[in-house]
Amino acid sequence: LKRVALASISASVAEAATFPIDIVKTRLQLQGQPQLSSHFDTGFRGAFGVVRSGGLLGFYRGLSPAVLRHLIYTPIRIVGYEQLRSGGVALPAESLLGKALCGGVSGVIAQVIASPADLIKVRMQADGRLVRQHMQPRYSGIADAFIKITRADGFRGLWTGVLPNAQRAFLVNMGELACYDHAKRVIITKQVSEDNIYAHTLASVASGLCATTLSCPADVVKTRMMNQSTGKEAMTMYRNTIDCLVKTVRNEGVLALWKGFFPTWARLGPWQFVFWVSYEKFRNFAGLSSF
């Protein structure tokens, strides 16, 4: 229970600190779709566009569902990873491949459960485009988004994009959790540093880069799938994740799968640092062992 609470608190702090970068990343990943006019094509221009349309508060549109998602998602994946690692499921606990498998599986389970909150977050972030064009946003808040999505797409509509979401979660957690865990062990074993903030910082930087590289293509597909409605009256661009992947590459080139890479990395790096350093400190204060 302590680990669940500490993971939730650390994740909420990290999410709030890095959320503006996530707004820009989401906009970059959505641009290039035929039904959306693109007003910017770089992170800096995207940031200026957000400020122009909604002021500084525009950077925090969709923060509440993002925090809600992490209150569910992060404790499940973190605690789940530790349980799988300690159990040595299928592969030795100290094996990098075993850690990667544990991270991927725990990430998928957590993401499937938290997918509705992630869907609402993506759509509320994407609504910034409508605000910039002086149009009414689709949703006024979490409750309004929940009601409108279920009314238009049914209860199952809350899991729109769950497959690319789960695929991304597998890759992100395989890179993030396994890389952080393994990198920290190597840093301590090789006596580069003791188990302190320096070791946690180095390990978090490595895990952020690894997670971004592995997950960005799935993240682009996930964002585009989740942004489209699936109701009967909706005009859907993509039939499924494969169709989305193929159309994205065909229309925009293979590099489009890494749209938003630098904003994603720029967010994951600080997110990793804030989360892991605070989580390790909280564990220490609570009398728990290091992650």
How far, in Å, are 46, 172, 207 from residue 214 at the CA level? 24, 7, 11
Residue 69 lies in a domain: yes
- Please give the tally of structural domains in the chain: 1
* Angstrom distance (rounded) from CA 291 to CA 289: 6
What pLDDT, on a 0 to 100 scale, did the predictor assign at position 54?
A: 61
Record the tokens describing residue 107, joined without a space: 């990430």
Across 23-32, 94-103, 258-267, the highest mean pLDDT is recorded for 94-103
Residues 6+ apart with CB under 8 A from 168: 111, 215, 218, 219, 221, 222
What is the residue range of 212's domain?
1-286
Maximum CA pair distance of the chain? 61
* Angstrom distance (rounded) from CA 123 to CA 255: 24
User: What is the total residue count of the chain?
Assistant: 291
Decide: 75 and 3 in contact? Cβ < 8 Å: yes
CATH number, domain of 61, equals 1.50.40.10
* Angstrom distance (rounded) from CA 88 to CA 83: 9
How far, in Å, are 160, 218, 241, 247, 248 from residue 165 at the CA level? 9, 7, 10, 18, 17
Residue 125 lies in a domain: yes
pLDDT at 164 over 80: no
The amino acid sitting at 24 is V
Once rounded to an integer, what is the mean pLDDT over residues 2-26?
86
In the DSSP assignment, the letter for residue 33 is -
pLDDT at 53 over 90: no
Residue 291 lies in a domain: no
Residue 198 pLDDT level (bands cut at 50, 70, 90): very high
Once rounded to an integer, what is the mean pLDDT over residues 225-230?
71
The answer to whether the pTM exceeds 0.95 is no
Count CA atoms within 13 Å of residue 145 on its CB side: 25
Residues 6+ apart with CB under 8 A from 55: none
pLDDT tens-digit readout, 80-133: 999 888 875 555 556 888 888 999 999 999 999 998 988 888 888 777 666 666
Record the tokens describing residue 154, joined without a space: 């049914």
* Residue 37 exposed, middle or buried by CB count within 10 Å (0-12, 13-18, 19+): exposed
Distinct helix (H) and strand (E) counts, the chain:
10, 0
Residue 229 pLDDT level (bands cut at 50, 70, 90): low
What pLDDT, on a 0 to 100 scale, did the predictor assign at position 172?
A: 84
